[in-house]
Structure formats: structure tokens, C-alpha cells
Structure 1
């Protein structure tokens, strides 16, 4: 099995009043760039993109291009309307981005035919860019069937998909209908050691933005051909079970690591004393405990 990619989904820093903190965001991105992962996904769910305006997104894109220069930088340009998506594609292109992700239309239900029309328009607007389809039915209310994915995956410029909150069997279904060189990433952090068995090339992991070591350790073992992954998987499970994919917990852990990660802008509950103790334990175990003042 080839070594899976780790694309870390990156949080964005906000002050306690919700103001965008670009300096803190820069620290988050810089940590990721030096953590051993293959790339960063910026302005996705973990980046609270739905809470950000167009100009703010442009500022974050510029920081990402600067700080992630040594690894892959994938900018999510999804929005509620195709009109806004096309603006965001141009914004990313102007900043020098070469890889983008585009969430399915959301909030209102769309037909399969409209889904194809949407991604056809994205494809036509994305010359010079590699586009990843972003499937997240649990958050968007819309889904891409295998038949629709078969069509979309053959559009120009569309090179892969990020599939969140779906079983591994969904990856099998997509792999069976897409071109051989089509890249599939799962959003299920825990499954990093299993994705290769289901035709996928890696994971997009928000938890790796906070605790990259369990993920880089297990992928290194896979790349070296090791088959006894039980202990490495336990570490991944520990990180996943403790951070829980929750942005408030991610940022609390990052603050414990000396990163000025701030707080969520969206309505997310902060970890209580017990949660903070759990986070401190995993930070001490898998990173460096150096809390910001």
C-alpha cells in the first residue's frame, strides 16, 4: 500500500469578540507547514468559511499562499451560490493558488441535473486549477450519487473529491466509476490506515492541524511497508476521540501548544475543565505543551 496523504483542514483564528486574527491564523498555518503533512485545506468546515465575508476570505487566502508555500495549499471556494463561487475562484487564482475545493450547493435541495450543471460551470471557470469536489451531505443536505460523480469526474480540471461523513463503502462506489487517476480523500481522520483498501489516496484531517504526530507516524509506517499498525492506530484513535473534530477543542489545544489560535467565531461550546484536562493530556503526549500567555 502506498503512503496515504495527510491534508490537514486548517482552523482560522478569531479574537474573543469574533474579529478575524490574521496573525494567529498565520501561526496556525505555519505550524501545519512544518508538521510533516502533505498539504493544507484552507477555508473549509474547520476554517468556519460560512462565517467569513469575501474580503476576509481573500486575506486568509493570501496568508495561506505565503505560509503553506512548502506544502500543497488547497483553497476551498464553496459558497451558497454559483455567483459567489465564481468570484472566489477568481480570488484564489489571483493569489496564485493552483488547487481548489468546491462544496456542493447547500441549504436548498438540488437535482442531479443541477448538480452536474453546477460543477460544469465550476469546471469551465477553473482553467489552470486542479478542482476537488467536496461532498458533505450531513452539512449541505445535498449528495453526489455515484452516477453523478461518474459524470463530474470526467469534466476538465476536476481531479478529485473530498468525501466527508460517509462510510468507507462510499469510497468504493466512487472509485468504481471515476477515472483511475481521480484522487479521493476521506474526511474521516480515524480511517487513515484503511483508505488505501477502498481506493482512496488519503485523508483531510482537521485533527492533524492540532495533533499531527499520530497521523504522520502511522502514514510513515504504512509507507515503510509495516503491517502491525495497532499501536499507531491507538494513537490516532486517542487524538480523534479527544479532539472530536470540534473547532473549539482544536483551538484550545493549539493555545496549549503556544499558538495564538483564538476562539471560534461560530456558536460552538468551549471545552469545560474536564475537556481541557483531556486536551492537555494529548498535547503533552503528542506535541509540546507551551500554553500562550
Structure 2
């Protein structure tokens, strides 16, 4: 069994006035470099619906500068196909070679509509690796394993209800690579033949997840799993929790652009020592 990957889904860090904080985002990426296998930028954890196109270009450039193209996955998803294609062009122009595209969202979209959306982005992506991003709990759009296989994409990030179907996606598209957005399910993902996890929690606490990746199938797996579970319990699996943990660790100020439930600082402090 190959060691599963831990790709950090990075939050986007803002200044007190809500403007994007270039220095803090660079500090976060630098902190993660050498500690995880790669980064996934401008995704759900990155509050992408609250970012404008120029900000997404900036985040892409920062990630590529620190991690390089081979270890950076740039999310180019948007509600409209036109915007997703434009974001794809921006990412390619910056030097990205690995992209992820969320399904359309908000308006109902059947398999044919999703297929058209993915096909347009794939055409714009050219030779770049393009992965689908399925998160039916948030988008309201469900793509079955068989429907996904018809897209011809090179893999996918499966979050929410889609993550529970990893085995079915692997069976339907055996040549594709799939990552789970369920951070603490890494061991099960590895056993099911998944590539690894795209993990928001690891952007604050990398080692509990990389240690778990290394421990899968060994006598240390249970202890490593317990440490990863402890991170999930403290941070609640939320962007707010991740940002609060980073704030306590001296990276960023915890500010979100998107309204969200407040985390429990005292519970997080038990992990950070803050």
C-alpha cells in the first residue's frame, strides 16, 4: 500500500480590515512547506466564494512560489462556466499544472449540465491535470460515480456525502486518482485505494495527519488516529476553527470574510498551548 498523501486545504488569511493579507498567506505556506505533500488553494477552506478573481490569482502565485507546480492544486471552481474558464486561464498563466473544479452550484444542475461545465473547463485546461471537486452537501448538485467516469477527468476531491462513496468512484473510474475531504478518514481512504486526503485541519496541525499517513497498517496506527481525531474534535472541522488555531500559533488573526459560527478558543488552546 503506497503512503497516502496529505494535501493541505489552506485558509485564506485576511487583515483586520478584511483585505487579503499577502504576508500572512506567504507565512502560512512557508510554515507548511516540507511538512505536507502539497496544498489545495482557493477552495472551500479558502472561502473561495468571497474572493475576487485578482485575489485568486495572487493566492495561486503565492502557492506556486512556495510549493511549485507539482505540489500545488489550484481550485478554479465557480458558479458560472464562464468564470471557471477564466479562472482556469489565470491559473495556467501563473504556471499551475494541477487544477480542481467544483461542480456548478446554487441552480439545479443535472448530469448533462455538469458534464458541459466540466468539459468547458477541461478544454480550457488543455494538458493540465484537471480534477473534479464534488461536495453535494454544499453545492446541492450530486454526481454519481458512473456519471463522473463519463467526464474523463483525471481524478477528484470527494467531500461530504461524496467521500463516503470513494470505493464506488474508484470502481467506476479505476484510472483516476481520488482524494477525500474527510480528514480523519485517511486510513480508510488508503485501504480503499484513494490517493489521500485534502485536509483543512492539516493546515493548522500538519503532523497528526502526516504521522497517521505514515502509520497506516502499522502498530502505531491507533495512536496516530487518536491524535488526528483530537484535532477534529477541537477545531470542529470548520474554517473558523482552523483560523483560530493558526491565530493562536502566530499565523494570521482569525478573521473570516464569510459569516460562520464561532469556534471554541479554549478547546483549541489545549492543542496549541495558547
TM-score, structure 2 length as denominator?
Answer: 0.95
1:188 corresponds to which residue? 182
3-state SS of 2:172 partner? coil
Residues 63-95 of structure 1, C-alpha deviations (whole Å, 9 max, x = no match): 111122386100000011000011000000000
Q: CA RMSD in A?
A: 1.6
Aligned 1:210-249 pairs, distance under 5 A: 210-222=204-216, 226-249=218-241
Contact 1:80 1:106 (8 Å CA) reproduced: yes
Residues 165-220 of structure 1, C-alpha deviations (whole Å, 9 max, x = no match): 12654111111110x33100010001011102223110110000001111111111
3-state SS of 2:109 partner? coil
How many residues of Structure 1 are paired with residues of Structure 2 in the alignment?
Answer: 274
3-state SS of 1:144 partner? coil
Aligned-pair CA distance for 1:139 = 0.7
Contact 2:70 2:97 (8 Å CA) reproduced: no
1:199 corresponds to which residue? 193
1:6 corresponds to which residue? 6
Residues 118-177 of structure 1, C-alpha deviations (whole Å, 9 max, x = no match): 11112211112101100000110001112211201x2xxx21100001265411111111
Aligned-pair CA distance for 1:112 = 1.0
Aligned-pair CA distance for 1:107 = 0.4
Separation (CA, whole Å) in 2 of partners of 1:112 and 1:206: 28
Q: Does 1:270 align with 2:252?
A: no
Could you say if the C-alpha distance between residues 110 and 168 of structure 1 is closer, same or farther in structure 2, counting changes exceeding 3 Å? closer
Gaps in structure 2 of 5+ consecutive residues: none
Contact 1:25 1:261 (8 Å CA) reproduced: no
Moved over 3 A (4+): none
Contact 2:163 2:181 (8 Å CA) reproduced: no
Separation (CA, whole Å) in 1 of partners of 2:42 and 2:5: 19
Which of 166, 173, 189 is equivalent to 2:168?
Answer: 173
2:142 corresponds to which residue? 143
Residues 16-69 of structure 1, C-alpha deviations (whole Å, 9 max, x = no match): 33111111111111112132x111000000000000111111111111111223
Separation (CA, whole Å) in 2 of partners of 1:81 and 1:64: 24
TM-score, structure 1 length as denominator?
Answer: 0.89
Aligned 1:54-203 pairs, distance under 5 A: 54-69=53-68, 72-152=71-151, 154=152, 158-166=153-161, 169-178=164-173, 180-203=174-197
More helix by share: 2
